[in-house]
Amino acid sequence: MITATLNEYIILSVVLFAIGFFGVLLRKNTLVIFMSLELMLVASTLGLVAFSRYNHTLDGNVFVFFIFTVAAAEVAVGLAIIVALFRKRHTIQVDELNALKN
Amino acid sequence: MDPTALQAIAANNDWVTIFPELLLGCVALVLLALEIVLPVKYHSYLPGVALFGVLAIIPSQIISLRPGFLLEGDTFNGLLHQSHDSQVMRVFFLVTAVLVCLLGTVSLAKQRMPHTEFYHIVLVVTAALMLLAQSNHFVMLFVALETVTIGFYILVSYFRTSPLSLEAGLKYLILGALSSSILLFGIVLLYGAAGNLMRPGHTGSPMNFDELAGFLAANPHNFLAGVGIVLVLSGVAFKIGAFPFQIWVPDVYQGAPTPVTAFLAVGSKAAGFVILLTLVRTFSAYAWLTLPILTLMAAATLLFGNLAALTQHNVKRLIGLSGVSHAGFLLLGVIAAATVPMAFGAVYFYLFAYLIASFAVFGVMAHVAGPNDADQEISHYAGLARERPFLALVLAIGLGSLAGIPPLAGFMGKLFVFIGVFESGHYGLLAVAVVSMVISIYYYFSWIRAAFFETWTPPANAEAVSPRPALTPVTVPLFVMLGLLAACTILLGFYQGPLGDWLAAR
């Protein structure tokens, strides 16, 4: 049986988080940015579960349920805003959404 | 698990302590139910129901501040911690909710929009803000903070027929979710570090602030915990709009409906500072790391906020960037509070002065704004003093207090913070603060000058400049509100009353 160590889980979690973070900063499509945001949350959940398993505390596992709930609420509101904005502006590319200026 | 331990946990769930939040949630639900049940002609009373609900809670909350009634200590098995500070901040958020609802009646009347949901979300967000002020555990903090943030996503894009409001909502959504994720990852790292069985002082409940503080004191140079602390502070810095996490502020403030801008500027920022004060206390063993970061952040925030505000023509962007500089002043108080206990009181006093002055200004803005809520230029204020002397007077008092002109409340707030910074020995920061305060007077006064000394002339090329919207008549509740806010701003400058006693008692 292959068992991963805590460090491997944490490195994976950090890598996933970094992919999500740079995805948010660099991608231009709002939906891809949104996916990257979810990836960051999932990376945090992986870290929580791994720490919870290796530190023998249950808090982390319980926290994951709260994070899932929050992420679901965020997606519900976020997609609603994106759809409403697409109806008005017919684009979801962030560099074209620049009507707010001085 | 041992049944007696479960019984002890259940007995610790002291529901009475969060009665105000429960009541707010109930009022919010009643609003939605009433909207379905009542005929359309009675719907204009629904804001009144929301206001009455919040106003009914405030006295009970103020009574609970009296010595005999004050609830102190941990409840809900360490999830919440009630103290005098958290009780005062709960009153703060309730007052904010009342003012936001009153502003909502002015701004929403200009839009063809469903109204009830606005008050519903404002009440839910207020309840979450109040829980945030008492949170003593990262799970509680994260869930309350996300309830606030998701509520704000909806509120910012509330004018859903306006592309500007939606764009502001999307920008707030992306950057807000980004900062929440950073905060969450910081929490994960702290959880992992403090639960590590190999470390001295490791704890079974690493997300509890007291337990975490114990671990950090035992391991003052843990790498993982250090990274976690930096990430958590970055997440919070986004909420308060501190440099370099302030990029969202001008756009979101401009696009959001005026009452929501006010709620963001005051409620969301105050919540950020309440968390920050708690966290800086929790991370006190890592002051070697947190204080230099906060010091740099405060200096950069002060300078950036004021210099960027100088070039703004849109009053909502201007007030947003001036809010960034106010976050800088408050950060000074937080830094001073690490060594001088009096600075805690200074931060709270500053928040109250900022609340009163900001809502005076936002109240006037809501009356001057036209149907296009994002389009509020300084030039629209020309001749306000002649047409509406009352509004112009309230605006002058509010802006004067924000600028820190003696003897208004804002001046006393800045004075208390400066005393705290002086006592803690950060002289360099004090110099930066004084310079930026002088810069800020310039843009506040260009706004006052527009209201008092300029007359409105129709521009030669009407295409280039947006036309000035008609002024909204001031209703009786709004007249009372604006009058009270202006009076309080002057009064708090001369006499700090119980708030001042509480300040001095530290």
Residue pLDDT, tens place only, B117-148? 999 999 999 999 999 999 999 999 999 999 99
Chain-wide mean pLDDT for chain B? Answer: 89
pLDDT at B501 over 80: no
Whether B101 and B483 have beta carbons less than 8 Å apart is answered as no
Quote the pLDDT of residue B453: 85
Quote the pLDDT of residue B429: 92
Choice between B373 and B224, residue whose per-residue pLDDT is larger: B224
Cα separation, B366 vs B109, in Å, equals 11
What are the tens digits of pLDDT across the range B236-280? Answer: 999 898 988 888 999 999 999 999 999 999 999 999 999 999 999
Cα separation, B76 vs B134, in Å, equals 11
What are the tens digits of pLDDT across the range B202-249? Answer: 888 889 999 999 999 998 888 999 999 999 999 999 989 898 888 899
Quote the pLDDT of residue B376: 86
Contacts of B255 in chain A (CB under 8 A): 100
Q: Does A89 touch chain B (CB under 8 A)?
A: yes
Contacts of A70 in chain B (CB under 8 A): 142-143, 146, 150, 180
Quote the pLDDT of residue A37: 94
The shortest C-alpha distance from A2 to chain B (Å) reads 23
H/E stretch holding B276: helix B269-282
Instruction: Quote the tokens at residue B219.
Output: 């391991």
Q: What share of chain A is helix, strand, coil (3-state, %, to 5)?
A: 80, 0, 20
Residue with tokens 């405060």: B298
What are the tens digits of pLDDT across the range B308-343? Answer: 998 888 999 999 999 999 999 999 999 998 888 888
Query: What's the gap between Cα A2 and its chain centre?
Result: 28
Contacts of A57 in chain B (CB under 8 A): 195, 204-206
Quote the pLDDT of residue B128: 96
Confidence of residue B22 (pLDDT cuts 50, 70, 90): very high
Cα separation, B410 vs B401, in Å, equals 4
> Maximum CA pair distance of chain B?
82
Residue B48: CB atoms within 10 Å: 13
Cα separation, B23 vs B380, in Å, equals 41
Residue range B281-286: mean pLDDT, rounded: 92
pLDDT at B80 over 80: yes
Cα separation, B429 vs B422, in Å, equals 9
What are the tens digits of pLDDT across the range B159-201? Answer: 988 889 999 999 999 999 999 999 999 999 999 999 888 888 8
Q: Does B146 touch chain A (CB under 8 A)?
A: yes
pLDDT at B472 over 70: yes
Cα separation, B225 vs B243, in Å, equals 23
Choice between B126 and B87, residue whose per-residue pLDDT is larger: B126
Q: Does B249 touch chain A (CB under 8 A)?
A: no
pLDDT at B466 over 70: no
| CB nearest B166 (choices: A51, A56, A88) | A88
Measured in degrees and rounded to the nearest 5, phi and psi for residue B276 equal -60, -40
| CB nearest B184 (choices: A33, A59, A67) | A67
Residue A68: CB atoms within 10 Å: 13
| CB nearest B163 (choices: A10, A34, A89) | A89
Q: Does B154 touch chain A (CB under 8 A)?
A: yes
pLDDT at B9 over 80: no
Contacts of B182 in chain A (CB under 8 A): 21, 40
Could you tell me how many helices (H) and strands (E) chain A has, helices first?
3, 0
Going from the C-alpha of B125 to that of each of B50, B225, B260, the distances in angstroms are: 13, 31, 11
Helix-helix angle B342-368:B315-337, to 10 degrees: 170
Q: Does B466 touch chain A (CB under 8 A)?
A: no
Query: What's the gap between Cα A37 and its chain centre?
Result: 3
Quote the pLDDT of residue B506: 59
Domains of chain A: 6-96 (1.10.287.3510)
Cα separation, B365 vs B409, in Å, equals 20
Q: Does A37 touch chain B (CB under 8 A)?
A: yes
- Pick left, alpha or beta for residue B173 (phi over 0 → left; psi -120 to 50 → alpha; otherwise beta): alpha
Residue B240: CB atoms within 10 Å: 27
- 3 state SS of B75: strand
Q: Any idea what DSSP says for residue B265?
A: I
Quote the pLDDT of residue B465: 57
- 3 state SS of B389: helix
Contacts across the A-B interface (CB distance below 8 Å): 134
Domain ranges of chain B: 11-504
Q: With 0-12 CB in 10 A as exposed, 13-18 as middle and 19+ as buried, what is B275?
A: buried
Residue with tokens 């952040």: B297
Q: Does B139 touch chain A (CB under 8 A)?
A: yes
Quote the pLDDT of residue A2: 61
| Amino acid in the structure at residue B123 | L
> What is the ipTM, given to two decimal places?
0.95
Quote the pLDDT of residue B26: 94
Whether B120 and B31 have beta carbons less than 8 Å apart is answered as yes
The shortest C-alpha distance from B476 to chain A (Å) reads 34
Which residues, given as ranges, of chain A have pLDDT below 70? Answer: 1-2, 102
pLDDT at B44 over 80: yes
What are the tens digits of pLDDT across the range B388-419? Answer: 899 999 999 999 999 988 889 999 999 999 99
| Amino acid in the structure at residue B319 | I
Instruction: Quote the tokens at residue B110.
Output: 């200009």
Q: Of B23, B36, B62, B30, whose CA–CA distance to B49 is shortest?
A: B30
Cα separation, B29 vs B38, in Å, equals 14
